[in-house]
């Protein structure tokens, strides 16, 4: 099954351990890790933010000049693990019988979505897609939202390392990419066209590789979308 | 495009099945327990603790609290889903799940053990922490194989999931969708809401002059929606969503996000505000939230529309709150009876709201239901009688 195409109007990418999306795909790390600077958040809004939120803010902020001031985008945020480092801090607090109000406030999966809307004054709808297939599902929801509304949609996907405490996945770096999507009719001359298709397959797709591939403008599977089927992204 | 609701199920402190929960809701039963019934707390609060539930052995997944709560609704929804599979085929039925905390309770019990709490029935696995930890087990049990998604936008999660399901169906990727939600009480949320000064020491009293905060609850709520049905339980006529763009945890002082999302839901339903019979409010019982929501409702409806606040019955079930209130609204359409808002007297006169404070029979054709969350995440749904 294929889905009507959308335009990719702009893309941004950040990895704590790679200089580019291509370097993720080539397994070529930076000489030294780099933390995001996330200038979109100022003053008190920066306090207590986790790496995953900082990553979202970094890539969303990089696309700010591409946004229309008269048609602010609907946003779809994606994250497999969410605020997992904040969860570790909260659990440590529980062991000591206290929870920080500031940490708790920023512990929800849609923390980045909320801080982004506050920082930009954007009252448009926003959602946050999560779970094991978050890269694929967030792409699907974002593309369907473009078709539902005929409006620009900001798709931001990010994840931070899962603390060892949880005995989960061991990816050691933070990674994020943002894509400004729009209807094909509204395409800028240099915009890429993205087509999603649901294709047979059950291969395990690494979320970071899928995200980096999309950010590099390359086609390939984004991840599982239903039993026995992958969501495939074709970029032209 | 409107969606037919062809199945609905809840499990929460009112009851672990629809019949019990509905009977208690529509007679105004108080189902809250002291917080000490769950665990030792260094402060006083009430909680909406779900009734004892059977082990979800049939799901074949770890029997976490979240899975146990979800299974109680999934069992009830199963006949409707099986019928939908026969109509559309398994691969045409999507599954969109919503939760605010997912398996956090499970991780807490392992990583911050407390001798006063029941231990884990199985060994710890991070696989049980994810928001969508139960998705494979539940979709396998129900025999559905369409697109899968998990949504987590704090207390608006289940309405955002419904909006995603609507997109999947409207754009031809599915003919039906199981939209479900589950959130279990855990120490992080109890201590966290307390740290923000939002937890009421006594059972919550939304829109009362004497309101003092939230009563947390737990539960699951599931609906089955289809693109068409000959005899649906109700119609989802429209959904709306908007962001406050004001503060991460405090509502916009003029209720901007709530106003925008209520109007969008009405627009998408092609209904004028005067066609809505009552509003099922988000109604958390905090000073600020109720004040802002009341102002937003007045601005949208321009009249003293009847309001009920079902969190006074179920507690605030977080990511499950929207669907929980929606299912009570669907039952309200069936019974032509409005569930009461408990403990509302004396109503806060400054809010200028017409609270439904006892079970009230009245003609009900359209209801608007609100769900708002951290991050200024707001959503509304208009549901109609078939």
Of B71, B276, B242, B70, the closest CA to residue B163 belongs to: B242
- Judged against a pLDDT cut of 60, whether residue A187 lies above it is answered with no
Count of domains observed in chain A: 1
DSSP classification of residue A227: T
> At A32, is the pLDDT very low, low, confident or very high (cuts 50, 70, 90)?
very high
- Give strand ranges (E) for B167-233: 176-183, 216-217, 219-226
In a domain, A232, yes or no: no
Q: What are phi and psi of B112, to 5 degrees?
A: -135, 65
Cβ neighbors of A137 (< 8 A, separation 6 or more) are A78, A129, A131, A223, A225, A231, B147, B148, B149, B150
> At B53, is the pLDDT very low, low, confident or very high (cuts 50, 70, 90)?
confident
Q: What is the mean pLDDT of chain B?
A: 96
B29 is written with which tokens? 């039963």
ipTM score assigned to the predicted complex: 0.97
- Judged against a pLDDT cut of 90, whether residue A42 lies above it is answered with no
Q: Which of A44-48, A52-56, A111-115, B256-260 has the lowest mean pLDDT?
A: A44-48
Cross-chain Cβ contact B196/A105 below 8 Å: yes
Cross-chain Cβ contact B245/A122 below 8 Å: yes
The model's pLDDT over B351-372, given as tens digits with 9 standing for 90+, comes to 999 999 999 999 999 999 999 9
A37 is written with which tokens? 């600077």
Angstroms from A31 CA to nearest CA on chain B: 31
The model's pLDDT over B135-173, given as tens digits with 9 standing for 90+, comes to 999 999 999 999 999 999 999 999 999 999 999 999 999
- pLDDT in the model for residue A189: 72
- Judged against a pLDDT cut of 80, whether residue A186 lies above it is answered with no
Partner residue opposite A108 with nearest CB, options B195, B243, B374: B374
Partner residue opposite A109 with nearest CB, options B146, B152, B241: B152
In a domain, A28, yes or no: yes
Q: pLDDT > 90: what percent of chain A?
A: 92
Residue of B nearest to A165 (CA): B111
Of B377, B380, B379, the closest CA to residue B154 belongs to: B377
- Give strand ranges (E) for chain A: 6-15, 74-79, 126-130, 153-159, 175-182, 192-200, 220-226, 229-235
- pLDDT in the model for residue B39: 86
In a domain, A206, yes or no: no
In a domain, A58, yes or no: yes
Determine the average pLDDT of the residues in A159-172: 95
Question: Domain range for residue A165?
Answer: 8-189
- pLDDT in the model for residue B117: 73
Determine the average pLDDT of the residues in A38-45: 88
Q: Which residues pair with B225 in a beta bridge?
A: B5, B177
- pLDDT in the model for residue B268: 98
In a domain, A177, yes or no: yes
Q: What is the mean pLDDT of chain A?
A: 95
Cross-chain Cβ contact B152/A115 below 8 Å: no
Question: Is the Cα dihedral A84, A86, A92, A98 positive or negative?
Answer: negative
> At B263, is the pLDDT very low, low, confident or very high (cuts 50, 70, 90)?
very high
Of B348, B352, B204, B339, the closest CA to residue B278 belongs to: B339
Contact A227, A133 (CB under 8 A): no
- pLDDT in the model for residue B56: 86
Query: Which CATH number belongs to the domain containing residue A105 in this structure?
Result: 3.40.47.10
- Judged against a pLDDT cut of 60, whether residue B90 lies above it is answered with yes
Residue of B nearest to A106 (CA): B248
| C-alpha span between B370 and B258 (Å, rounded) | 8
| C-alpha span between B78 and B186 (Å, rounded) | 28
In a domain, A227, yes or no: no
Determine the average pLDDT of the residues in A125-137: 98
The model's pLDDT over B107-136, given as tens digits with 9 standing for 90+, comes to 998 899 887 776 666 788 999 999 999 999
In a domain, A126, yes or no: yes
CB atoms under 10 Å from CB of B290, counted, come to 25
Partner residue opposite B153 with nearest CB, options A3, A121, A127: A127
Determine the average pLDDT of the residues in A36-63: 94
- Measured between beta carbons, the chain B residues lying within 8 angstroms of A162 are 126
- Judged against a pLDDT cut of 90, whether residue A54 lies above it is answered with yes
In a domain, A92, yes or no: yes
- pLDDT in the model for residue B365: 98
Task: Write out the catalytic residue numbers of B.
Answer: 155, 282, 316
Contact A167, A215 (CB under 8 A): no
B367 is written with which tokens? 């209801």
- pLDDT in the model for residue B332: 98
């Amino acid at each position: 099954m294929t889905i009507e195409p959308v335009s990719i109007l702009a893309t941004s990418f950040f990895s704590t351990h790679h200089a580019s999306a291509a370097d993720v795909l080539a397994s070529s790390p930076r000489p030294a890790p780099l933390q995001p600077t996330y200038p979109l958040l100022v003053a008190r809004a920066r306090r207590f933010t986790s790496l995953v939120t900082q990553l979202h803010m970094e890539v969303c902020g990089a696309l700010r000049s591409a946004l229309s001031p008269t048609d602010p985008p609907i946003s779809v945020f994606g994250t497999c693990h969410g605020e997992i480092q904040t969860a570790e801090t909260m659990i440590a607090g529980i062991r000591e019988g206290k929870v920080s109000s500031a940490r708790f406030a920023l512990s929800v999966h849609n923390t980045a979505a909320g801080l982004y809307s506050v920082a930009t004054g954007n009252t448009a709808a926003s959602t946050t897609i999560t779970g094991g297939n978050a890269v694929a599902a967030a792409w699907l929801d974002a593309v369907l939202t473009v078709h539902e509304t005929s409006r620009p949609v900001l798709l931001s996907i990010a994840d931070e390392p899962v603390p060892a405490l949880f005995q989960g996945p061991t990816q050691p770096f933070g990674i994020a990419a943002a894509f400004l999507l729009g209807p094909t009719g509204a395409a800028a001359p240099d915009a890429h066209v993205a087509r999603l298709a649901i294709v047979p397959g059950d291969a395990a797709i690494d979320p970071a590789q899928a995200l980096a591939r999309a950010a590099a403008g390359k086609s390939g599977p984004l991840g599982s979308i239903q039993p026995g089927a992958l969501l495939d992204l074709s970029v032209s | 495009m409107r969606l037919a609701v062809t199945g609905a199920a809840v499990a929460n402190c009112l009851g672990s099945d629809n019949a019990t929960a509905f009977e208690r809701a529509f007679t105004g039963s108080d189902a809250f327990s002291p917080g000490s019934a769950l665990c030792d707390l260094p402060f006083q609060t009430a909680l909406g603790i779900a009734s004892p539930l059977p082990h979800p052995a049939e799901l074949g997944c770890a029997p976490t609290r979240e899975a146990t709560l979800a299974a109680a609704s999934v069992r009830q929804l199963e006949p409707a889903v099986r019928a939908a599979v026969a109509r559309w085929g398994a691969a045409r039925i999507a599954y969109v799940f919503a939760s605010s905390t997912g398996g956090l309770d499970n991780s807490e019990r392992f990583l911050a053990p407390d001798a006063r709490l029941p231990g884990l029935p199985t060994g710890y696995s991070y696989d049980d922490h994810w928001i969508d930890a139960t998705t494979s087990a539940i979709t396998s049990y129900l025999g559905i194989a369409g697109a899968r998604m998990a949504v987590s936008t704090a207390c608006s999660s289940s309405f955002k999931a419904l909006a995603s399901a609507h997109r999947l169906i409207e754009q031809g990727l599915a003919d039906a969708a199981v939209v479900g939600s589950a959130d279990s009480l855990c120490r992080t949320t109890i201590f966290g809401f307390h740290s923000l000064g939002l937890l009421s020491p006594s059972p919550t009293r939304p829109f009362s002059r004497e309101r003092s905060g939230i009563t947390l609850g737990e539960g699951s709520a599931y609906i089955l929606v289809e693109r068409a049905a000959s005899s649906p339980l109700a119609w989802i006529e429209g959904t709306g969503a908007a962001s406050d763009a004001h503060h991460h945890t405090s509502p916009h002082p003029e209720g901007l996000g709530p106003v925008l999302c209520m109007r969008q839901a009405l627009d998408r339903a092609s209904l004028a505000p005067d066609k809505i019979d009552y509003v099922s409010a988000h109604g958390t019982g905090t000073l600020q939230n109720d004040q802002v929501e009341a102002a937003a409702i007045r601005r949208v409806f321009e009249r003293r529309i009847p309001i009920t606040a079902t969190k006074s019955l179920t507690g605030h079930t977080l990511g499950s709150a929207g669907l929980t209130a929606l299912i009570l609204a669907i039952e309200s359409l069936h019974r032509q009876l409005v569930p009461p808002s408990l403990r509302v007297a004396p109503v806060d006169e400054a809010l200028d709201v017409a609270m439904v404070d006892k079970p009230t029979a009245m003609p009900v054709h359209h209801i608007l239901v609100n769900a708002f969350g951290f991050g200024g995440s707001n959503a509304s749904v208009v549901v109609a009688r078939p």
